[in-house]
Each structure stands twice: as C-alpha cells, then as structure tokens.
Structure 1
Amino acid sequence: MFKKLFLLLLPVFVGLTAWSQQPLAKVVGVVVNDKNEPLPKVTVSLVGLAATTTTDNEGKYSIQSRLSNFSLRFKLVGYKTETVALTVAKGAELVKNIVLRPDVKELKAVKVTNKANQLNNAQEVDVMTMSNLPTVSMNFESILKTLPGVSTNNELSSQYSVRGGNFDENLIYVNDVEINRPILIRNGQQEGLSFINPDFVTRARFSAGGFNARYNDKLSSMLDVRYDKPDSNQYVLTAGLMGLSATAKKTFKNSHLLFGFRRKDNRNILGTQDVRGSYRPNFNDLQALYQYNFSKKFSINTLLNFNSGSFKLIPESRETQFGTINTPIRLKVDYEGQEVDDYHTYGGAVTGIFNPKSNIAIKWINSYFEIVERERFDIDGNYVFEGIDNDFADGQFGPVRKNRGLGSYYSYARNSLNSTFASSEIKVEQSAGKHSLTYGARFEQAKYIDKINEYNYIDSAGYILPANTNSFTFENAIFSNNQLKVNTISAYLQDSYAISSKADFQFGARINYNDLSQELLVSPRLLFIYRPKDYKLWHFTAGIYQQPPSYRSLRGVDGSLFLNQKSQRSYNVSAGYDFAFTGLGTRLKFTSEVYYKYADRMIPYTVDNVRIKYLADQTAKGRTYGADFSVSGELVKDLMSLFRVSVLSADQDIIGDSYVKKDANGQNQTIYPGYLKRPTDQRVNFSMFFQDRLFKSPTYKVHLNLLYGAKLPVGSPFVSTYTDNFSIPAYRRVDIGFSNDFLDEQAKRKPQFLSRYFTSVIAYAEVFNLLNINNTVSYLWLKDVNNISYGIPNYLTGRQVNFKLIFKLKTK
C-alpha cells in the first residue's frame, strides 16, 4: 500500500523539486528621497504575489521573482507609493533605484489632535473601530475601556470607572443632551443596550478629567457624542447570535433623518456562568433623529428614544470551586424561585439652532426623559460546603474530603422606581477676534418615586436565629416609600483666548444652585495649552469640580433618605504632554498625563457588581493621583491600534469613623482607621486593541482586544464598618475577532450576487474570553457550621463563540 502511494506521489515530488530549482529573476537597488537621502524600512512587495521585503538602514533592498514580467510596489508612510513594471530574464539580476516623493497630504495629518479637542482637554474617540471591537456588551461605551484613565472589571456592563471615580461621576452627552442611566440595576447581566446608538455616532470625544466649564457638575469624566448629518443615504443591517440592528440614514433637500432599531439577546454568553438555569434576556432600543433646516440660519433638531429591557432568570443550580490548591473548597447550591427585572426609558429632546451671524451660534435645548424600573426576585438557595481532595483527575479536583456544613439563603424583593428628568437650556457660542466665548444657563427638574420592599437572610445551621425565637426578624430588611423632587439652576461662562499661534489660555466658571442642599456652588476651571510644533502639545489644567446630591447618593443602605447631604467637592490639577512621531513604519501618537485630585467632601460607598451602595449618612476626604500613557496609530493602513497603561492610587478617610477591637491583653481598644483604599483603587490598568491583516490579504482582518486590571479592594458585609482588607482578584481578559469584507475595494474576486445589492458585506467570527479565565466580579458571602465567613466568588462569563454579519445596502 505504501509502495503504491509512493510511486503515485513520486512524479509530483519530482515536478515540485524541478520547479523550485528554476532560476529566479532578481532585482536590487537603493530607495532614496528627493534629497538623495537613503530611506530605511520602505516596504518592497511584488504586486499580486506574497513576496515582500524592506530596505535596510542604507536604503538597499533585494527581492526575487519566479516570473519574468512583474510589478514592484514601494511604500512608506509619509511618502507617495510608487509602482514600477519590470521585465527581467530568469536567472538575471536588475538594478533599479527608486526616488520616493513626500506625500504632503499625509504629512499634514501628523498633528496631535484638533484644536476643539485641545480646548476641551479631551481626546477624539476613533468611532470607526467600534464595529471591529469584539465586545460582549454590544454598547458604544466598550471602546472607552481601551482609553487612558478608564478601568473596568465587568465585560457585561457598559459602566466604567475613571481615575478612581465611581460610575455615577461620569457625564454623557448626545448632541448636547445629558443622558441619565437606570438606577436599580445591580448586576451586569441585567444591563441591556445603553442610550448611545453606535451606528449613529459620527464623532466623539472623551475627557478623563479637567474638562471645561461648559459641561455639567460631576467629578470624574465627560463623553461628548455627536449624531451629525450623513453624507449620503445609508441602510445598514447587522445580524448575529447575540442580536441584530437596523439603521437607516436619509438625506432630503432641507432635512435629514436617522432611524435605528437594536435588539440584544445574550443568553448564550450568560449560560457560561456558574449559575445554571433558564436565562431570558430581552433588550430593545428604538431611536430616531430628524432635523429640518428652515433656512441657513435656523433649524430644529428632534431626538426621540424608547429603550426597554427585560431580564428573567429561573436558576436551577450552581457549582463553584474556590480556595487554594492546598485547601480547595466547592460550593453546591440548588435553587427554587425566579428573578424578573425590567426597565423602560422613553423621551426625547427638541433643539432649536439659530445662527444670526457667522460668528454666533445659539442653541435652545429642551428634553424630557422618564425611566421606569422594576425588580422582582424570590429565590431560595440550599447550599453545601465541601472540602475536596486536591489530587487532580482529568483536570478536576478529587472526591469530597470533608463536609463543612449545610445552609440556605433567601432573597426577596419587590422594588420599583420611577424617575423623570425635564430640562431647558440655552447655549451660546461666539467668536470675537482672539476670543472664543461660550456661555449658557440651564434649568432641570428631577422627580423620583421609590418603593422598596426587600429582605434576605443566611441560615448556616441556625446562626441567624435570635436568642428570643418568639420575636424573629430579618436583619437585612428594607421597607421604605420615598418621594423626592429636586430643582436645579446652573449657568456657565467661558473664554478661550489665543495668546499666539502656539498658545491658548482658557478660563471659565460654573454656578449651580439646587433647592435640596440649598448651596450656591461656584466652580472655576482653567486650561493652558502650548504647541511648540504641530506634532507636540503641552497642556495644564486646574479646577474645582462639585457634584450636587443625587437620589442615588441620598439613599442610604437601609433605604432612608439623608436630605441634609451637601455637594461633593474635588480640587483637580493635571499636566500632560502629547507627541506625534514616525515609528514602526507608520505615524504614531503618544499621549501622557499626570494628575492629582483632592476631595475635601465626598460620600463614601461600596461597590457590589455594578451597584453602588452609598454610606449616605457619612462624609469622607479623598485623595487620587496617578498617570496615564498611551500609544496609538495605524500599524496597518486604515486599521487603528491602541496601547495604554494607567497607574493610580485612590484612598479615602471617613470622617469620625472608628471601631472597637480587643488588644493582646483582651482589653477593648478604639481604632481610628484613617485613610483606606477606595473601592475603585485599581492600581494598574493595561489595555491593547490590535488590528492586522491576515494571509497578506486586504480583506481578511484580525481584531485582538486585551484588558488587564489589578485587584480591587472589597469589604465583608458582616463587618459594620468600611474596610479594605479583602480584594477582588485581577481582571484579565482576551477577546479576538476575525472579519472579511467580501466586497472590499481591494478584493480580487467579488461575489456577483452580493455586489448587485450591497456595497459591503462583512462577516465576523469572534471568540470571547479566549483564554477562558474565571474573572471575579463580586462575592456571595456565606457562613459554615463554625460560623466562619466565606466570600464565594461570582465569576463572569466563560469562553464563547459569536458570529455576525453586517450588510450595507446599495442606494440609488
């Protein structure tokens, strides 16, 4: 048999050997610029073939071809690409020297960022990469987690922490309309689609701190998203295993329309968690924007949104292994009951835009949004602790070695919250000579109707029973009915002055008054920018940032409202240096910033998954300092890659807190803990979003997203005071995606039946959590028979494969 196979393949091997030994045509030469200076790292490639090389430090190159007639392409960022056709006899050598001319258009793009972003101390978000980013949440905010200063430890959530701040300290604007998010959501798996429709976004800028006075009063960050007029009619359909979306963009003679529908169903990814059961998530978003231009000077913009979310879980069982290699422990839980959560957001904004003169723009923005939230869960879990053998068998731990006890826990809730936000605002932008003025005023009314009926208990062999069993009560019970209305008036004035062509100075201030805390808040802010070159930028910011009490911060852990709460206040300074340079054969941008924030008044809190529990009756002082660094650029043409690292330290000192502890002699001793780590004290954050082409093909691409976040401090709920003596392990995650545009302009062959109806058809294959790492998002706290507390990790999602298709229809 093998002999016959050898005789059959022998002619093939002989033919291949003879073909491989044929003489090759060879081309050598030197590549120089218009000043006759050698150019290193010029890419030299055979057009249509796989062979490629680069020039050395002296500009020399050498390349071989099996063909006699072929073309060579010479390419270097910043220079015009040259292609030459050659004819070389096989076995011959040809000397071909090339002169590359500068590409003036490309060199002009080296500027660090545009002036508008500089004056906002913000960086531009590359919205074009959003569709390529492999993400579980399917929300636009996922791209922010690759930016300097932003940290996260939950891929299911669109929430993010910026420079030690919490989720409530971030501002989000869409076309100058401030966006609020639901309040009751406590787990990332309950989150649906955020307000921002990624298909509508044409530009976005993000500030991790030091943003100017035109933006509202919050402590941490600002995201400014724009839905602009489309260049042409567009129809896009996206369909995949986790949902679908449809977008239509239509331009008319005096108006334009954006219409989008999104649907998300991530039950497949939720099924990779430890809790087994029936997951039924259903999230939808309907959004429309219509602008009519009555004249060149006046137009009206209308934005409407309806966002609904429903999450239903019927849990069946859970099995979680934790502990150490030497002392592994397994928790098994059997469940009864179910959880049903839903929320609805609806409303919109109407904006009148008036340009009486070319140097004046006036906007009158009126918005109304209502958020209706419901939580209903009634879950009973019976659990068993088991100490298991640490001898591995087939990759699993061995049999049970010791039973640590039985127990049960029960959770019940019937919570509802209705929130309404109505506002009216005037914004004016005016330029006069070297001055750029912006000023405005805003009135907002927020109403809340909150009904809380929630309790839970843990029964570890009778340890929850009180001494008097005739008067049994639940310790973790919350029953309250709250109603609150807050009126807020704010105004701002800001002047940006061009000192010279290389330097700008900006000074502004905000004034805020609300009838709840009855404080008159004045927040001055300044910014100085110096540009020694187009590709270099120095910037310095300083300011006071004050955040008035919100309903979330007013509501204590027990559900009661602390209406005497005052505004949180932070003093911020930062300095940064941005630099654009040529490296790795392309243009790269390096950004850096160091910062320090001191809060003399802040409300302490704890974080459980994505829910923030404020210690509303207490006040703290806080310090945050750190540095952010990033490098970005098109390592491969038209594909942006991002690399960043952030380091920080965030701590707080709760004023007047103390606890009693017995010393070595058994005597009670009062301990004043002083400064402790804040729940968002994530010391190191690293992210990498890398894109490349596969198989030397312009249509096949790979998109790699890597995230790392250091451990986060967390305290046990069994301790009455806030502590930081426990931690959530480091967050590590790798997601990868592969894509192919069948109708790419550079595709050699385009399917005729697709090109007839579509301008682009892109297929994506994604692998979430490629390394299948068990990341911890929070802890379930239980006790064994010895009354010892255990924090059982609640793991996030495991490895999962996803597919999706994006169709862009042809328009006439």
Structure 2
Amino acid sequence: MRKRLLLLFVLLLTLTGLKAQPLVKVTGRVTNELQQPLAEVTVRILGQDQSALSDDKGNYTIYATNTSFILKYALLGYKQVLVSISHDKAGRLIQNVTLTESSNELEQVTITSRQNQLSNSTTINISGIGAMPSPSGNFEAILKTLPGVSTNNELSAQYSVRGGNFDENLVYVNDIEISRPILIRNGQQEGLSFINSDLLSNAKFSAGGFESRYGDKLSSVLDVKYGRPDSSQTVLTAGLNGASLSTKMLRQNSFLLAGLRYKNNTGVLSSQENKGSYRPNFTDAQLIYQQQLSPKLSLNFMGSFNNGSFKLIPQSRQTEFGTLSRTIRLDVDYEGKEVDDYRTLGGAITTLYAPRPNLVIKWINSYFNSRERENIDIQGAYFLSEMSPDPGDPEPRPSERLTGVGGYFTFANNKLRSQHLSSELKGDQTFNDHTFSWGLRFEHKNYRDDLSEYSVIDSAGIRRFYGGPVIEAENKLGIQYYSAYLQDSYRLSAYTDLQLGIRGNYNSLSDQLLFSPRLLLAYRPSGNHKIFRWSAGVYQQAPDYRSIRDFQGILNLNQKAQRSYNTSAGMDYAFDGLGTRLKFSTEAYFKYQDRLIPYMMDNVRIRYLAGEQAKGYTYGADFSIGGEFVKDLVSHFRLSLMKAVQNIAGDQEGYLKRPTDQRLNFSAYFQDRLLNSPTYKVHLNVLYGSALPVGAPSSDRYTDDFHIPAYKRIDIGFSKDFLDDASPGKSRLLDKYFSSFALYAEVFNLLNIDNTVSYLWLKDLNNVQYAIPNYLSGRRFNLKLIIKFKNSK
C-alpha cells in the first residue's frame, strides 16, 4: 500500500511540473533560397538536449519546454540560422525557415545535399579571396586555379575554359548576365572586373555540362550572388595598387550592400620592358538594396558604375630574345601617346514573388550602357643588334654591326557605344520528387561602332601594312534575342537523380530558331562520400557583334550560330587523409563542334575571321584535390590535360591547333601557418600553363606554326591579423574599433620569370622576320591592409 501511495505522489509531482513548464510544439519546413526542401537539417532548441532532423520534404517537428526559447537550424554548406521565439502560451507553432549557402563552410570538401548532387558546378571558397596574392586584384584570379581553366596573363581578367575563348563564358551576378568591354587590346588596359569580392555571398563555377537554366554560350558559367549578409559590417582595404571600401547594412526586412573600388597599376606596369609614363586609373561603384515588402514579395535593386582610363606616353624599350647561341637585342625609341577609356553604367530591378511555399517566381529587368574609346598615335624607331660574347668579357655585348633598322607607326581613333536591355521571367516549383524550372527572356543589343585605324612597318626600306589596309568603318547594328528554357530535376531513387532540360532561342541576326537539349545524371551511393555524374547536351552560341566583325571592320550579317555537342563523366570523392577531410574530383570530357567561327589571339584581343567557318573537337580531363591541410585554411591542387583543334573550311590545311590549345595546366594554392607563430600565415599561388600556338600576322588565314612559351608564375603572400584569436596579446585600441586588422606583404612573380603574352613582328636588313616577345610583369612587392570595423551598438 505504501508503495502505491509513493508512486501516486511521484506521478502527481510530475504532472504538476509539466503544468508549470508548458509544452510548445514547433513544426515547420526548411528550404533553400529557391524554396526547395532541405533534408537532414539539424534543428535544436538552445539549452535543451533534444534535437530533430528535417525529412526529405524539409518538414520537422520539435518540442520546447518553455514559451520563450531560441531555435537553431544547421546544415553543412549553409549558414546557421537562429530564430527567437516568444509564445504567449503552450500550444502549437509553425516556423518556416530559409537557409542560404555559406562560403565559409567548406563545401568543396563536403558531399551532402541533393542540390550539390544535381549540379555540375564547383562552389568557390570566397572567404579566402582577399588572402590570394594577385597583381590584378580581381575576383577572376581565383578562377584561374580551378580545373579546366587556362590562362597566360596575370594582368587580365579574361580566361579560357576547356579550349574556348573568353567570349564563350557566361557571367551572372544575381541572375543578371554581365557583358564586358570589346575594344581592349591588352591586359594593361584592363582594370576592375565587374565582380566586387567584398560584396559576395556565394559563387559557383561550371567548366561545362551546365544546366538549361543558364544561357547560350559554349564553354562555362560563373554564377555569383550578392545576397543577404549575416550581419552589418564595414571593410576597408588599402594597398600599393589601390583601395576599396564596402559596407553591409542589415535590417529586419531589408539589407543594403555598397562598394567603392579604386585601382592603379602604375607600379606593376613599370616593371615591363616598355618604359614611359603610365597612368592607369580605374574606379567602380556598386549598390544593392533589397526590401521585403511582404512575406511573399520582395524587391531588389542593383546599380553599378565602372570606369577605366589608361594613358601611356612611351619613351623606350629594350628587349633581348633568341637562343643560347644567338641573342638579339631590340632597342626602340618612341614618340606619341595612347589614351584609352571605357565607362559602363547600368542597373537592374528584380521582383521575387513566392505565392506558395513550393513556388518562386522572379522578374528581372536590366539595362547597361557602355562607351569605349581608343586613341593611339605612336611611332617608334627600332634597331636590331646581334649580341656576341667577348672572349675577355663573360657578359655578352652588342656587336658593332646592326642587323636591322626601321620604324613603325600605329594610329587608332575608335569609338564604340553599346546598349543592352533585357527582361526575364523565371520560376522554380517543387512537386514531391520533381523540381520544375522555367524561364522566358528577351534581350535587345544595340551597337554603334566608328573605326579608324592602321599600322605601318618600314623594315629596311621595305614598307608593309600590318593587319591589312587602312580600316575606316561606321557600323550600326541592333539585335534581338528571344530565349526560353524548361527543366525538370527528378529523383529516380534514393541514390539517383536525373535532370532533363531544353533551351530554345531565336535571334534576329542569324534568323535561326535553335533548340538545345541537356541532361545530367547523378548517382550517390550510400555513405554520402561519393557522387558520380554524367552529362550530355547541345550548346549553341548565337552570333554577336564582335564575332561578325572582320579585321577590316566589315560585318558578316550572314553568320550562323556556333554549335557544340558536349559530353562528360566525372566523380567527387570525399575521404579522410593527411589528418584532414579531403575532396578529390575528376572529370573527362569530349566536345565536337560542327560549326565554329575561327579567330586569332592578339594579346587579349580576340580577332575573328568573321567570314570563315570551321569544325573542331576538344577533349581532356581535369583532376583536383583540396581540403584543410592546416586548420581553417583551405588549399587545393589541380591538373588539367586538354587538346583543342579545328579545321577551317576551304583552307586546305586540315586540322590545326586552336589558339587556346594549352595541353597542360597545373595550379596550386597552398596556405600554412608558421609553427612558432600561428598568427602569421603564408599564401602561395603557383600557375603553370604549357605553350600556346600562334601564327605570324595575317589577315586572310589562320596558322599555328609558332608558339608562345609556357606560362610559369609563383606569387607569395604573408599575412598577420593583429586581432586573431590566437594572438597572445591584442591591442586594446585596435580591439575597441576593429574586429579584424590584417596586414599582407606580397611578392608577385617571385622568381622574376619573363612570361610572353604576344609578339611584335619585325624584319632585319636581310628581310628575315623576327618575333620579338612582349613580356608580362616582372617581380613586384606589394603591401595591403584589410580592416573590418566593429558594428556600432
């Protein structure tokens, strides 16, 4: 009897305690930014031991023992979300949450989500971009370390992907396609690329096999997002090459991102062999504002202004080239100057409407206006001398007899205005195991081009025009593009996903209606550490102004779209090794192009043989491995092998190497800490690209009978954050105002290697033509300071 009374007493105490701590049942759904469900999201109530996981549809249920508590949502690869709950009484509560992708989470060594599985893209670790030593300072510097990407110019933001040229790459910022300047001839004239690294929330890059939601280009996609920040923050960067200031302001229903940048390459360019007065000045301003008008409707505005000015008054040049047995020296005296400038002004308004939890609709409207000008009036008198060794002098000296003497003159007065207007409607909707995506897009491009240029070379009394006769042209062109896509991502089984899509496009220039089907199959076996992918698709690039303009400025209005049939097979494998978590990725690919527009590369200028047509093929394989070899510091290594050839119709030459046929590419980005002082870090960037084919200047045919030597470069940087948590003693003054105070010391081109970007073609007294290399930048030292201000309370 006593035992029964004791049991009843304990039961009454328990019930009394439960009444004193009322239960709140929380249910909800966790989705990503596209309102797609996220599975295996961990939901915790801070201060309680219990937790819950979301299911395949993103649904979860969890119980709280208090009416006021904090919910924490976490999934690897996404930013953690904390939600404060204050409920009046016990009962039920619905709490839906959207998670955004995190650049700080090491997604490149993680294989978790279905979204990763059904994407042929690499997530870029943007948190370490500021630490990467790069003379350009542009975001694209990190792209040049990725699998499939080739480069041979550290001054340029241009890059080649799997045998394609820069015009074949798509670049999106917040779903808005970005255009680039057309008239730029060399990397010296390039300034700030459109992407502001300080404003990024995440970035993805696909070297091929990308899905139908992306546009009609042949090679690659860079998809960048300026999204909602985690918190308000202001960052100041100042160095010998320029400065930037960015601010992020976060409110409950809105956020603001703003960035100002300035760049001056005078110090970098002064290390080149062309001596003179360099005045390169580049400025950029961007503003992003988003307002949540209601739980279902938001409005986003993006505005940008990009301005570049390059002025050069050359004085002299001295270049040595040749072989070990025979060295030639070129001396040039200059007169005249070059003044180039460009300006791009534009903006976009995006309306996002989510009428239901499983449906998101975006309406994107953008307008960009660009003006580019070239003014070149330079003449040079040159002398070619053969260097011969003196038996009594170990150093070579110029011989007394000149082997060549002459002069050349370059003139250009070119103006190009372009306008780009677009409107796009796109949607994403989820039904059980299906995710449907669709889009409709209209674009109007308008060009006005005034060309006036010529070059003359007088070599030993033999006068000839370089690049054809005097170019005088006035072109006006308007092109309309209409495109649409439909895509379905379908879960075939617990381990297999299939993505089917098709794009249709029509343009008023070639008057073609084109259809491009695409497929991606992904298999992830149990264990969640491997993904196998296979993709196939048709990629068709409609003609644009640059591809239809030939060397003389004449437009080929009959040009048809370029077309490529692509297939690839790859694998991602995550494993534990070397004391850390590593990810190994590999992909083999083959591309057959039955319709190509051949072109030549002149420094960074792409010169199309607009009246010609070619076919070709490209195949290769990419390998990469990366991870945290040192805690909190990501390093990665990659190797790319490739062959790219083409056969121009009617030239009787057969298959020749394409200008981007770089057979071998290797890159390594390694970061470490000093053993005795872990707050000191080292950042090493190594690039190697094998020789590139090039032909002697010609306006009527393409050749590959010469080559640019292999590109070899090592940049190194050292950094210290004086407010690092591992610092033994922090400055109270710095800690009062700043959350980070990091100093960087960098050495560009550590080994001082002379890398060639192009050639100047001259003749000697015997009418022998020489290819005089135009070298890139030499060794250069740089200091940089990155300061993050503390938020004002």
Deviation for aligned residue 1:401? 5.1
Q: Is 1:618 the counterpart of 2:612 in the alignment?
A: yes
- Tell me what 1:478 maps to: 471
**1:126 and 1:114, CA in 2 relative to 1: closer, same or farther beyond 3 A?**
farther
Tell me whether 1:148 sits opposite 2:143 in the alignment. Answer: no
- CA, structure 1 residues 349+119, in 2 after alignment: closer, same or farther (shift >3 Å)? same
Q: Return the match for 1:803 from 783, 787, 793.
A: 783
One-letter amino acid of the counterpart of residue 751, structure 1:
S
Q: How far, CA to CA, are the matches of 2:467 and 2:640 in structure 1?
A: 43
CA contact (8 A) 1:278 1:313 kept: yes
Supply the RMSD in Å over aligned alpha carbons. 1.7
CA 1:391–1:500: 2 relative to 1, 3 Å: farther
In the alignment, which residue of structure 2 is the partner of 1:772?
752
Q: Distance in 2 between matches of 1:276 and 1:643?
A: 37
CA contact (8 A) 1:388 1:401 kept: no
Residue in 2 that maps onto 1:692: 672
Moved more, 393-402 or 173-182: 393-402
Question: What is the 5 A alignment of 1:59-70?
Answer: none
**1:408 counterpart residue number:** 407
- For 1:697 and 1:357, locate their aligned partners in 2 and report how far apart those are by CA, in whole Å: 54
Q: Aligned to 1:501, what secondary structure does the other structure show?
A: coil
Deviation at 1:110, TM superposition (A): 6.0
| 1:762 aligned onto 2:761 | no
Partner Cα distance (1:787, 1:252) in 2: 71
Structure 1: how far apart are the matches of 2:246 and 2:559? 44
Q: Aligned partners of 1:111 and 1:234: how far apart in 2?
A: 28
Gap change, CA 1:595 and 1:405, over 3 Å in 2 = same
1 CA distance for matches of 2:391 and 2:337?
Answer: 35
In 2, Cα distance between equivalents of 1:450 and 1:416: 6
Letter in 1 for 2:628: E
CA contact (8 A) 1:328 1:390 kept: no
CA distance in 1, matches of 2:149, 2:126: 17
Moved segments of 4+, more than 3 Å: 106-111, 390-396, 473-476
Alpha-carbon distance change, 729 to 317 in structure 1, aligned in 2, over 3 angstroms: same
Change (3 A) 1:247 1:118: same
CA distance in 2, matches of 1:712, 1:465: 27
Deviation, 1:112, is 2.7
The equivalent residue for 1:521 is 514
Matching residue of 2:302: 303
State the Cα deviation string for residues 244-266 of structure 1 (Å, max 9, x = none).
00001001232100010000001
Q: Which amino acid aligns with 2:693?
A: P
Q: Please give the alpha-carbon distance, in whole angstroms, between the structure 1 residues aligned to 2:712 and 2:263.
A: 25
Summarize deviations over 1:437-465 as a string: whole Å, max 9, x none. 10010000000000000001100122117
Q: Is the 8 A contact 2:467 2:551 kept in 1?
A: no
Task: Give the superposition deviation at 1:118.
Answer: 3.2
| TM-score (ref. length: structure 2) | 0.85
Alpha-carbon deviations, 1:713-752, whole Å to 9, x = none? 0000158421111000000000000000000111111111
Describe the SS at the equivalent of 1:513. strand
Amino acid at match of 1:188: G
Contact 1:111-1:534 within 8 A present in 2 as well: no
Residue equivalent to 2:704: 724
1:496 aligns with 2:489: yes
Residues 392, 153 of structure 1: alpha-carbon distance in 2 compared, 3 angstrom cutoff: farther
Residue aligned with 2:128, SS: helix
Confirm or deny that 1:507 pairs with 2:500: yes
Structure 1 residue identity aligned to 2:520: L
Match of 2:99 in 1: none
Q: Is the 8 A contact 2:744 2:783 kept in 1?
A: yes
Give yes or no for contact 1:689–1:706 (8 Å, CA) kept in 2: yes
Q: Counterpart in 1 of 2:102? A: none
Whole-angstrom CA distance in 2 between matches of 1:582 and 1:626: 28
Partner of 1:41: none
| Matched-pair contact (CA < 8 Å) for 1:326–1:390 | no
Distance of 2:302 and 2:507 partners within structure 1 = 27
Residues 474 and 366 (structure 1 numbering): CA distance in 2 closer, same or farther, change over 3 Å? closer
Partner of 1:320: 319
SS of the residue corresponding to residue 560 of structure 1 reads: coil
**2:546 equivalent to 1:547:** no
Alpha-carbon shift at residue 397 of structure 1 (Å): 2.7
Q: What is the DSSP-based 3-state SS (H/G/I as helix, E as strand, rest coil) of the residue aligned with 1:326?
A: coil
What residue in structure 1 maps to residue 125 of structure 2? 126
Match in the other structure for 2:681: 701
Work out whether residues 742 and 787 of structure 2, in 8 Å CA contact, stay in contact via their aligned partners in 1. yes
Alignment match, 1:68 = none
Cα distance in 2, alignment partners of residues 199 and 317 from structure 1: 39
For residue 521 of structure 1, what is the amino acid of its counterpart?
L
**In the alignment, residue 560 of structure 1 is paired with which amino acid?**
I
C-alpha distance in structure 2 between counterparts of 1:200 and 1:393, whole Å = 61
1:120, distance to aligned residue in structure 2 (A): 2.7
Q: Could you give the per-residue CA deviations for residues 157-186 of structure 1, whole angstroms, max 9, x where no partner exists?
A: 010000000010000000100000000001
Query: 1:655 aligned to 2:655?
Result: no
Counterpart residue type for residue 372 of structure 2: E
The question of whether the paired residues in 1 share the 8 Å contact of 2:147 and 2:622 is answered with yes
Q: Which amino acid aligns with 2:709?
A: P
Q: Distance in 2 between matches of 1:609 and 1:521?
A: 33
Relative distance call for 1:246 and 1:393 in structure 2 (3 A) is farther
Evaluate the alpha carbon distance shift between residue 390 and residue 775 of structure 1 in structure 2; reply closer, same or farther with a 3 A threshold: farther
Partner of 1:199: 198
Give, as a single letter, the amino acid of the residue that structure 2 aligns with 1:170.
N
SS in 2 for 1:618: coil
- State the distance in 2 between where 1:759 and 1:395 align: 57
Q: Give the secondary-structure state (helix, strand or coil) at the position aligned to 1:143.
A: helix
Could you tell me which residue of structure 2 aligns to residue 594 of structure 1? 588
Q: What secondary structure, in the 3-state scheme, does the structure 1 residue paired with 2:662 have? A: coil
Structure 1 residue corresponding to 2:602, chosen from 604, 608, 616: 608
Give 2:728's aligned residue.
748
The 2-side partners of 1:254 and 1:223 are apart by 29
Identity of aligned residues (%): 59
The residue number in structure 1 matching 2:235 is 236
- 3-state secondary structure, aligned to 1:399: strand
Q: Which amino acid is 1:512 matched to? A: N
Shift of 1:396: 5.0
Q: Report what 1:785 is aligned to.
A: 765
Instruction: State whether structure 2 residue 379 is matched by structure 1 residue 399.
Output: no
Q: Is the 8 A contact 1:562 1:616 kept in 2?
A: yes
Q: Go from structure 1 to structure 2 and tell me whether the alpha carbon gap of 1:810 and 1:215 turns closer, same or farther (over 3 Å shift).
A: same
C-alpha separation between the residues in 2 aligned to 1:113 and 1:463?
Answer: 67
Preserved CA contact (<8 Å) 2:108 2:626: no
Q: Secondary structure at the match of 1:183?
A: coil
Contact 1:714/1:725 (CA < 8 Å) preserved in 2?
A: yes
Amino acid at match of 1:545: Y
Letter in 1 for 2:659: P
Output the CA distance in 2 between the equivalents of 1:764 and 1:109: 25
Name stretches of at least 5 consecutive residues in structure 1 with no aligned partner. 1-105, 467-472, 658-671
Instruction: Give the secondary-structure state (helix, strand or coil) at the position aligned to 1:476.
Output: coil
Other-structure match for 1:737: 717
Deviation of 1:109 (Å): 9.6
**Deviation, structure 1 residue 361:** 0.5
Deviation for aligned residue 1:202: 1.3
* Counterpart-to-counterpart distance in 2, 1:278 and 1:122: 43
- Kept in 2: contact 1:457–1:475 (CA 8 A): no
Change (3 A) 1:236 1:394: farther
Q: Secondary structure at the match of 2:461?
A: coil
SS in 1 for 2:559: coil
Normalising to structure 1: TM-score of the pair? 0.83
Contact 2:488 2:501 in 1 (8 A): yes
- Any idea what SS the aligned residue of 2:188 has? helix
CA deviations on 1:327-372 (whole Å, 9 max, x unpaired) are 1000000000000000000001000000001100000000000110
Matched length = 687
Higher mean alpha-carbon deviation, 689-698 vs 115-124, is at 115-124
CA distance in 2, matches of 1:428, 1:231: 26
